Amino acid sequence: MTARPVAVVTGGGGFIGSHMVDLLLSRGYAVRVIDSLVGGREQNLAHHGRSPDLTAEWRDVRTLQPNDALFAGARYVFHFAGIGDIVPSIERPLEYMSANALGTAHALEAARHAGVAKFVYAASSSCYGLADVPTREDHPIRPQYPYALSKYQGEQAALHWNKVYHLPVNSIRIFNAYGTRSRTSGAYGAVFGVFLRQKLAAKPFTVVGDGTQTRDFIYASDIAGAFLAAAETDITGQIFNVGAGNPQSVNRLVELLGGEVVYVPKRPGEPDCTWADISRIQKELGWAPRVSFEDGVGRVLENIEYWREAPLWDEASIALATKTWFETLSS
């Protein structure tokens, strides 16, 4: 019997990382996960049971060594490990630079010494800042807060390892990811987690501004498909946007979720619209999103109990949580 090819997923217990694990197992890969469980959860992989093709190490990616056994014999590495959220990055910038930039360097070195065939980096579209839309990969880089900077620095490290050490690398700049298993951490952040907990509690949705702002929401399984395409191609050293290319308003999300609304102040440094130009990945990798926004929201609602233990936000708690955001980015 031919041995299954091995793939490493850093941050594989997290939101998008766990969807990556699902896809790889379905495609016949043996998967090794490393996750610190800061944002990830063991239960995100529990539906695989005791699969002999899935192993996990619950430790920080910064513990990886150049000859780390976790990477031995691996064909591909998918690097999702890191920490998110805007406000905590403003308050603790060194932590974000360490986890997202230095952590990436640790993963790159382990991948380089293991001789992997491809390293695919999970970059963030936040590097573009207040961007022209639709946004192409060659748009000027204008990070507005430390999270965005730290993810961009991680991407620069990955491309540097490609140039200097000839490690095959591609980078995926993810736009507004959503789907089942999205984070339920204590920090105020992504709109889906906030709204789903509010719906469970029969509380109003706290809509920022007037809700007409649009976001290029892309479902997690579609993102996983893009990462696999970026690994299996012969193309290397490239950056690809991944979004649906079809921005949706927050008001449309509220309509699909169903519920009352209250409005909170618009925040500085946030774009009115995010919109990925996905022509490069469509042309070069043959990738296209498959899950419509309506279907994706439906899938999330079917699994809404996942967010039962998430923080419940209201106007007052949001104002307190974003105080640093306004003070820092308004100047």
299 within domain boundaries: yes
What pLDDT is attached to residue 190? 80
Assign 227 to helix, strand or coil. Answer: helix
Check whether residue 22 and residue 165 sit in a common domain. Answer: yes
Looking at residue 186, its pLDDT comes to 66
Residue pLDDT, tens place only, 269-307: 889 999 999 999 999 999 999 999 999 999 999 999 999
- Torsion-angle region of 37 (φ positive above 0: left; ψ -120 to 50: alpha; else: beta): left
The pLDDT, as a whole number, for residue 1 is 55
- Same domain? For 74 and 44 the reply is yes
**pTM (whole model) above 0.95:** yes
C-alpha R_g of the chain: 19
Same domain, 144 and 238: yes
| Cα separation, 207 vs 251, whole angstroms | 8
CB 158 within 8 A of CB 104: yes
Whether residue 25 sits in one domain with residue 114: yes
Task: Please tell me whether residues 254 and 301 are part of one structural domain.
Answer: yes
281 domain-assigned: no
pLDDT under 50 in the chain at which residues?
none
Looking at the fold, whether 262 and 222 belong to one and the same domain comes out as no
Considering the domain architecture, whether residues 51 and 108 belong to the same structural domain is answered as yes
* Short-list 123, 42, 40, 44, CA closest to 78: 123
Number of domains in the chain: 2
Looking at residue 258, its pLDDT comes to 96
69 and 95 in a common domain = yes
What integer pLDDT is reported at residue 29 of this predicted model?
98
237 in the same domain as 117:
yes
Is residue 30 situated within a structural domain?
A: yes
In Å, what is the CA distance from 299 to each residue of 256, 289, 303?
12, 15, 7
pLDDT value of residue 172: 98
The per-residue pLDDT for 185 is 75
In a domain, 288, yes or no: no
CATH at 143: 3.40.50.720
Q: In this predicted structure, what is the pLDDT of residue 58?
A: 98
Q: How far apart are CA 314 and CA 326, in angstroms?
A: 17
Which residues constitute the domain of residue 321?
191-215+247-274+293-329
Instruction: Clarify whether residues 226 and 131 are in a common domain.
Output: yes
Domain shared by 155 and 195, yes or no: no
